[in-house]
A and B are shown apart, each in its own frame.
Chain A
Amino acid sequence: MDVEAENVEQVPRDEILQLYRSMVLIRRFEDKAYELFSQNLIPGTLHLSAGQEAVAAGVCGALRNEDYVESTHRGHGHCIAKGADVKRMMAELMGKRDGYCKGKGGSMHIADFNVGILGAEGIVGAGLPIAVGAALSCKLQGLDRVVACFFGDGAANNGTFGESLNMAAIWNLPVIFVCENNLYAMSVPYFKAFAIENIADRAAGYGLPGVVVDGMDVLKVYQAASMAVSRARKGEGPTLIECKTYRWRGHSRLKSHESKLYSPDEYEQWRKRDPIEVFKAKGLLSQEEVSAIEEEAEALIREAVEYALNSPYPEPEEAVQDVYV
């Protein structure tokens, strides 16, 4: 599939606005979460996706509300782009009762079945077989739905990757495997964990198409995802999309320290390709549209923080509830 050849004119106007809206909301959410975490208002740990917004926005932009998303430990962006409510996400991050999981899951385990978010995962690579099962279920039930499964470059070295791609291929399932190759799995840089240039090349070995996309360009991601989605809907089976991207912050918690171990100017180079700036530079939106979207995002995040701060903690005894149906 040749992604470059696709034409921007073919992307509907409201889609273009929505792609930008998603990216800006994700960025504001992640920046705010970082700030709240630094103030000890969010316990535990956080895996932030600032820098990777184009992947979440582009892929989810190509999905319908009833399509599914399987997310990861770095999943805030996927959830926001798929339509999750930032109020309930923020409350969950703080461990509050009005959070998506009533405080039981936290940042790493957000789910919203009303908008097709099957859940974020704490176990790297564990989402792939689940996505395969969801896609199988869609097929068996004759539902016209597809599943987008996000995972990192690190996950592509887990055994579940091979098992899942193979199974999806032999069963011709409507699933899109989206590898967010942000060049690091915690501290380990890509070149130390892979002997190949592109993870997408592995697709051939399992009998599905593999595509490499510039993960800092939301339109390219959107177009690649749209093609994969349309293949899946037509019953033509799974696709692996590898998005080359980068995260602004460290693996979890606070500042980036990993990349300094290997390449001092790498961070600066990637910052120049900020997906939000790259998009703005295309000049597709007017200054008014840009400002309106940014203000709207600010307001949503302000509201979310207030909502989360005002939400009570769960009662301690709730810890033993919901163990069984």
Chain B
Amino acid sequence: MREITYVEALREALREEMRRDGRVFLLGEDIGPYGGAFTVTKGLIEEFGPERVRDTPISESAIVGAAVGAAITGMRPVAEIMFGDLTALAMDQICNQAAKIHYMFGGQTSCPMVLRTPFGGGVNIAEHHSQSLEAWFVHVPGLKVVAPSTPYDAKGLLKSSIRDENPVVFCEHKQLYRVKGPVPEEEYLVPIGSGDVKRVGEDVTVVATMWMVHKALKAADMLAEEGIKVEVVDPRTLNPLDKKAIVESVMKTNRAVVVSEDVKTCGITAEISAVIVEEAFDYLDAPVVRIANPDAPIPFSPPLENYVIPSEERIVNAVRKIVKGEV
């Protein structure tokens, strides 16, 4: 199968959906001739024109608000917020408007929009441009939250998100844009709410999200040399969460390590661990281990940033310990 990058996969999804459905349009900062801060929309204005690939002023609240208004009146907007951190400026529109409109108005309207935005650190751009805030949105009923780790998943899930009747927060990751992977030429969808086993193993389950999936896979390679067989589960969607995929894996391996790049307190790892404890407690041979950022902002300087973002070594060490019965 041909291999393309995560960015190319996203661009293909947008192009295909825009060709398929004239109601789909894009809006965001610098997404037109410039092609988006991370080049996701590059070239789309040439095919679809400035009406459907709309450069906006720097008005995050108005970008999301305009998407909400268009969605409830028959369009299928895909809004881009240039950095995930900047969703903070649009929080009212995302959490109070988009998420609640369908419910609050007694089901009279739906808000079929996608909010695409990149999260994640590792590129030394400090506190305002590096956070992973997926959990904020998972906490708001009414929003779906999608978080793909591979080009295949990114494309299939973006297409599903655009077709979904609900507002979807589509989380991308700066470190993943250049990652390559197999993507079929023919059309396919990845359903929202289905997890994926990225590597099969018997000794321990590592549940990881986004960039951490790749770190978990590297850690699994290293551990395989020591004879430890790691199963890597990628939830792919954070809300709805594929509890079944996670729980079934843990029932098989009897041990779980959960890895995510957000802060530990009330973060993604907290929720996934709780699910495991609630639904597979009797199968566990050891306490669930969580690996996440410490409860601190993401600092700028490389040694500081490297300290807060979970590393492969941390995963390797945690797995070794849990397998040896040291936790």
Binds B, one of A8-16, A154-162, A200-208: A154-162
Q: Assess whether B300 is in contact with A95, with CB atoms less than 8 Å apart.
A: yes
Could you give, for residues 63-93 of chain B, a 1 whenever the CB lies within 8 Å of some chain A CB and a 0 otherwise? 0000000000000000000000110110000
Evaluate contact between B308 and A188: CB separation under 8 angstroms. Answer: no
Minimum CB–CB distance for B60 against chain A, Å: 8
In angstroms, Cα B126 to Cα A105, docked, is 6
Decide if B296 is an interface residue (CB 8 Å cutoff).
Answer: yes
The answer to whether residues A319 and B55 also contact, given A95-B124, A106-B124 and a CB cut-off of 8 A, is no
Q: How many residues of A are in contact with the other chain, CB < 8 A?
A: 40
CA distance A9 to B294 in the complex (A): 59
In the complex, A186→B31 CA distance in Å? 11
Binds B, one of A122-130, A236-244, A282-290: A122-130
**Which residue of chain A has its CB nearest to the CB of B128?**
A122
A313 vs B302: C-alpha distance when bound (angstroms) = 9
Contact status B126-A44, CB under 8 Å: yes
**Assembled-state Cα–Cα distance A320/B306 (Å):** 12
A3–B127 Cα distance when bound, in Å, is 40
Contact B34 A186 (CB under 8 A): yes
Q: Does B61 contact A (CB under 8 A)?
A: yes
Q: Given the known inter-chain contacts A104-B304, A157-B57, A188-B55, please indicate yes or no for A319 contacting B126, CB distance below 8 A.
A: no
The prevalent SS among residues of A at the interface is loop
Q: Shortest distance in angstroms between B296's beta carbon and chain A's nearest beta carbon?
A: 5
Contact of B30 with A by CB under 8 A: yes
Contact of B301 among A104, A124, A186 (CB under 8 A): A104
* Closest beta carbon of chain B to A190's beta carbon, Å: 11
Name the residue on B nearest A106 (C-beta).
B300
Does the CB pair B307–A316 fall under 8 Å?
A: yes
User: How many Å lie between the Cα of A187 and that of B28 in the bound state?
Assistant: 12
* Known contacts A125-B58, A159-B61, A320-B294; A105/B127 CB under 8 A: yes
- A 276-325 contacts with B by CB, 8 A: 313-320, 323
Q: Which residues of A contact B294 (CB under 8 A)?
A: 319-320
Residues of B within 8 A of A (CB): 29-30, 32-34, 37, 55, 57-62, 85-86, 88-89, 123-129, 294-297, 299-308
The 9 closest A-B pairs by CB, nearest first: A122-B128, A95-B301, A157-B57, A103-B301, A106-B300, A187-B34, A44-B124, A316-B307, A43-B124
CB<8 Å pairs between A and B, sample of 21: A43-B301, A44-B124, A95-B302, A101-B300, A104-B299, A106-B124, A109-B128, A122-B85, A122-B126, A123-B85, A123-B128, A124-B58, A126-B89, A186-B29, A187-B30, A192-B55, A193-B55, A193-B57, A318-B304, A319-B294, A323-B296
